[in-house]
Structure 1
């Protein structure tokens, strides 16, 4: 009979028997492979959280009325409820503000990643044209303010309609290429009210609607439209004539 080979333990003459190999963990559990690590799921940030943190970036200040605390070279400090607002403005508006007096200005609240600023204007017409200039490529708020402060809004609108580049190049910081971009990119927007009218014969109401869309009050628009009612030409010519009338009356 074939004998199997067996492991022979140490006898009494060879000392104590070897310690039996511990094949159990503490607590009676066997050793086994280490449990595989699983990454815990990382909770995703809710989309509403991002929107909430970005909410402060929205422009919310449209006008300010308060006491003039200080007037400097290019800004005025208006105090409202114990808080001073630094409002950047053009020379003509700053010249009318007096320290200690109360003033009201329309504002454009500029909000960017690294900057917040308030730009002030005496009328809604100026504010509207400033914001229109801001849509032109490579025209920043400082340059838009300089252009708006250089001429009456009606003159600037008329310059766009008549391709008058000199009205813009006369402003410091505005070159010929910038003036061309302003005329090119804004002509359709200034013209929009007139071009939107159908092919029928133009009426005074069309001129009034066009002027209102450019930021003029109903009273101003009706007065200017009435002054040019007898003029010849199409709607575009009458709008130009009405703008000239508004420029002369200011």
Structure 2
């Protein structure tokens, strides 16, 4: 297994990054919080997880080991695949995940696309003991986004949401509402608001 990849960013999107290392470009799927931490960098080090199932080969990248560990824990839960796990870590920070599990707040997980009542309760039951082994404080945290131009950030947010599997018409409606209400100050915030509207 590849522990991490360090190299120059040749392409970056809210859902993936291409890192060039040794004349090889690695296509790595990422979540929203990792994107927000690396969007201003030229060179990056991402901890990786390789998802291999039959004919599926996917590599996921994380800005820290804690987020990768949480991603792996979600994959061990019946009914949660890599795309749903990525949606969760895009909607919630590692601290918010730990907080929701500690407080048995299943509503936080039900707000994520693809997570129903049964799965939300299963997350809490299955991970209640395991999160105690993680060195993450149960608290809410927020990222300070970098300013971007409105048109560019809307396009990036739309492409990211479409990549995550949301229908184009619903994405367009959600983005129109966000733009009208003036919440479009960064790609990260646009996607977070859209995830709430699309859940």
Whole-angstrom CA distance in 1 between matches of 2:131 and 2:14? 32
2:159 paired with 1:159? no
Provide, for residues 56-83 of structure 1, a one-character-per-residue CA deviation record: whole Å limited to 9, x for no partner. Answer: xxxx112110111112352111011001
Whole-angstrom CA distance in 1 between matches of 2:95 and 2:39? 27
Provide, for residues 145-174 of structure 1, a one-character-per-residue CA deviation record: whole Å limited to 9, x for no partner. Answer: 111221121221121122101111122222
Aligned to 2:113: 172
Structure 1 residues 118 and 172: CA distance shift in structure 2, 3 A: same
Aligned to 1:13: none
Aligned to 1:35: none
Root mean square deviation, CA, Å: 2.3
**Greater relative contact order: 1 or 2 (C-alpha under 8 angstroms, separation 6 or more)?**
2
Corresponding residue to 2:82 among 101, 116, 141 = 141
Structure 1 residues 158 and 72: CA distance shift in structure 2, 3 A: closer
Mapping of residues 1-250 of structure 1, within 5 Å: 60-98=1-39, 101-191=42-132, 213-216=133-136, 243-244=137-138, 247=140
Whole-angstrom CA distance in 2 between matches of 1:95 and 1:63? 18
| Cα shift at 1:93 | 2.2
| Cα shift at 1:136 | 0.6
TM-score with structure 2 length normalisation? 0.64
Aligned to 1:49: none
Greater CA radius of gyration, 1 or 2? 1
**Structure with the bigger percentage of strand:** 2
Contact 1:70 1:99 in 2 (8 A): no
Structure 1 residues 106 and 179: CA distance shift in structure 2, 3 A: same
Contact 2:37 2:63 in 1 (8 A): no
Number of aligned residue pairs: 143
Whole-angstrom CA distance in 2 between matches of 1:249 and 1:96? 12
Aligned to 2:152: none
